[in-house]
With several copies, the nearest count.
Chain A
Amino acid sequence: MVYEVIVGGKAGGKAHRLELEKAAAGWECRLDGQPVHIDAVIPRRDVLSLLVDGRAYEIKREQTATDLHLWVGSSRFAVELRDPRSLRSRQTTAGDEKGPRKVLAPMPGRIVRLLVAENSEVEAGQGIVVVEAMKMQNEIKSPKKGVVRQILAGAGMAVNPGDVLAIVE
């Protein structure tokens, strides 16, 4: 099996070519051409026990609707696995910095108040709306300097993670 693995998140991630082949005992693996023998079992869902040259790793998998993270010890890595046979080149996210940016709800909660009006100018990091969840009021901030083109949130509204609260341009 051959995979392309991006480790380190969409922005600064490094791409690796990973080849895996079942051996008599364990797996023969080539990471960016470098051969390494590994032994791996999944003792329980989302946990992988990996032995590489005697070194033992317990790797934990954290999967959300949008992301895959792997924990090696106490270190967390964003990981993306791709089929290298697909022709699609990786999208860069750099372009996003320039155009309109969405302000997203980071958690489920309720809008308690709006801190700015539509069309007002905001600095990067300035509060846009306040979302209450778990008895805490959380200021959701503008990701960039610009103008609040649209506010989609209203006081009292319930929101889910990923809901668009406002658009800053």
Chain B
Amino acid sequence: MFKKILIANRGEIAVRVIRACREMGIATVAVYSDVDRGALHVRKSDEAYPIGPAAAAESYLRMDKILDVAKRSGAEAIHPGYGFLSENAKFAQACADAGVKFIGPTPHSMKMMGSKTSARQQMEKAGVPFVPGTSRGLVSSEEGEEAAERLGYPVMLKAAAGGGGKGMRLVHSRQELHASFAAAQSEAQSSFGDSEVYIEKAIVNPRHIEMQVLADEHGNTVWLGERECSIQRRHQKVLEEAPSPMVDSDMRWRMGEVAVKVAQAASYTNAGTVEFLVDQQKKFYFLEMNTRLQVEHPVTELTTGLDLVHLQIRIAAGEKLPFTQSGVGIRGHAIECRIYAEDPDNNYFPSPGKITVLLQPSGPGIRRDSGMYEGWNVPMDYDPLLAKLIGYGSDRQQAIMRLERALYEYFVAGIKTNISLFQRILGDADFRAAKVDTGYLDRLIAKGNPAVVSSAPEREIEAMESIAAIAAGMFAVLDPAASVGKNGGAGGPGSTPSNWRQNGRSEALR
């Protein structure tokens, strides 16, 4: 087993991997950018090294700096987390060249899955079902028109190197195709430095369901059940659950076997995820393979009782999988809420800044994987994922109820978060009935964002307003150091019990 592992990441996932290492008796090496000196992963690691300025391109994406830290610290392996360098085959290769074990698949598997068209070609050979379309890039919009005619509209244009919805266009008719092709190409070029675009039959309102696989370096591959990931915004997942309410045992086995076939066709090792689109008739199509640990891996951990990061590390150290497919059982239901720093009242704009108050939930059935703490200044330079709140229950309803309870206990001030969005989703009748697809969240948000109170009867709102008024007065009386009124702020050491009066007066004199 490794004695020391470098974690080439930040935020909640770096903390999660550090915890796994500590549990396994492995020393940890953190890296951090200038704005992350006070980040939780730096506090929790055994060693920590600065790797440059805030911009990821100058720090967390700098392979040379990270490998240099690995060398200096004597780390034997690197866990890339997700994002950043996690799906970068060049980095995996550079690690191998430097004699450091990359905890993930081989550069070869990563490269094959990195291009959607090459992945399609490979999977076509292996007989994996995927959305009808071209498995090569389109040479011209005319070729696209022919293919679209064959597939039938609507069709989807997609960047071969794509991800995150960039270089993607839904095309409803022949008239639109030419312009959309040009737009997709140019967006693909500017986003990925590669203009290759291919075409697929568009699945209307699909579900996005993915299958977790795990493969050791001795030829053993297993699947660990699916995750329902249809609740997305801007192609970013927001809430995930396991199992999917629409997948039954038979479908799970079929998807699992296809996922294993995909992994084996790519000579895949370590943890990976095979993504499927599922249409209204429950037919599923291979979409792509994510060659890394997913953000949403905890829901699989809770339903299988396994620790995926422990297993990733064991596999990378050359161990065999400690169980076979028949030893994997799915029990209960788990749902993950991704707590983002964004403002639900203001178009979900990102909301970095200092966390002034933080009350965090715990208790039965609640797992919290967090990268934040009270007093931390959330930097504006990285993605807005602050923490993940995962609820487990013996069934879906109990998982939902436990999450609602935990969200009620969760409170973050200083920055805005999307906690209220989850309260809306979990209380929504369609969600409760599991009627979700990739368009669900946009529809829910489009309904408007009523304050929670507006659904309450008028009388109750008035009662709550009275409570708020009384509370405002009691705060002022009991905690006069914190200021009152508009001239807010944290209240310096000079604050006195009569401070609010001065504030009141200076306002009056303006």
Contact = CB atoms under 8 A, between A and B. Distances in A.
Task: State if A and B touch, Cβ cutoff 8 Å.
Answer: yes
A47 B321 CA distance: 40
Contact of A107 (B30, B352, B374, B505): B352
B463 to A, nearest CB: 9
Interface stretch (A66-74, A93-101, A149-157): A66-74
Contact of A81 (B341, B357, B485, B505): B485
A106 B469 CA distance: 27
B467 A41 contact: no
Interface in A31-89: 31, 36, 38-52, 54-68, 70-77, 79-83, 85-88
A8 to B, nearest CB: 7
Interface string B38-52: 100011111111000
A38 B472 CA distance: 13
Interface residues of B, number: 79
B373 interface: yes
Contact of B465 (A8, A29, A64): A8
Contacts of B482: 45-46, 61, 63
B37 A39 contact: yes
B353 A1 contact: no
Contact of B472 (A42, A51, A70): A70
Contacts of B349: 106-107, 133, 138
Nearest to A74: B452
A145 B308 CA distance: 53
Interface stretch (B196-204, B265-273, B299-307, B379-387): B379-387
B350 A74 contact: no
B468 A79 contact: yes
B484 interface: yes
Pairs A-B, 8 closest by C-beta atoms? A83-B504, A86-B508, A134-B350, A88-B508, A62-B413, A77-B468, A134-B384, A56-B48
A48 B475 contact: yes
B138 to A, nearest CB: 27
Interface of B: 30, 37-38, 42-49, 72-73, 234, 341-343, 346-347, 349-353, 356-357, 359, 373-376, 380-384, 407-408, 411, 413-414, 420, 423, 451-453, 456, 461, 464-479, 482-486, 488-490, 500-501, 504-505, 507-508, 510
Given A54-B47, A56-B48, A81-B473, A14 B380 contact: no
Contacts of A134: 341-342, 350, 352, 380-384
Contacts of B411: 60, 71
A27 to B, nearest CB: 7
Contact of B30 (A18, A42, A56, A64): A56
A164 interface: no
Contacts of B485: 68, 80-82
B466 A31 contact: yes
Given A61-B357, A64-B488, A74 B423 contact: yes
Contacts, number: 226
Nearest to A20: B473
Interface residues of A, number: 70
Given A3-B472, A7-B469, A43-B376, A75 B384 contact: no
Given A56-B45, A134-B342, A135-B382, 20 more contacts: A1-B473, A3-B476, A16-B466, A29-B470, A36-B470, A40-B478, A41-B38, A45-B357, A49-B42, A63-B490, A64-B488, A73-B408, A75-B453, A76-B451, A77-B468, A82-B504, A107-B350, A108-B353, A134-B383, A136-B384
7 contacts: A8-B465, A20-B473, A61-B482, A65-B488, A72-B467, A74-B452, A161-B353
A20 B357 contact: no
B472 A106 contact: no
B434 to A, nearest CB: 24
Interface in A116-155: 133-136, 138
B478 A83 contact: no
A63 B356 contact: yes
B67 to A, nearest CB: 15
Contacts of B469: 5, 7, 16, 18, 31, 79
Contacts of B407: 74
Nearest to A82: B504
* Residue with the greatest number of chain A CB neighbours at <10 A, chosen from B46, B48, B349: B349
A70 B471 contact: yes
Contacts of A161: 353
B225 to A, nearest CB: 30
A62 B45 CA distance: 21
A59 B471 contact: yes
Contacts of A55: 46-47
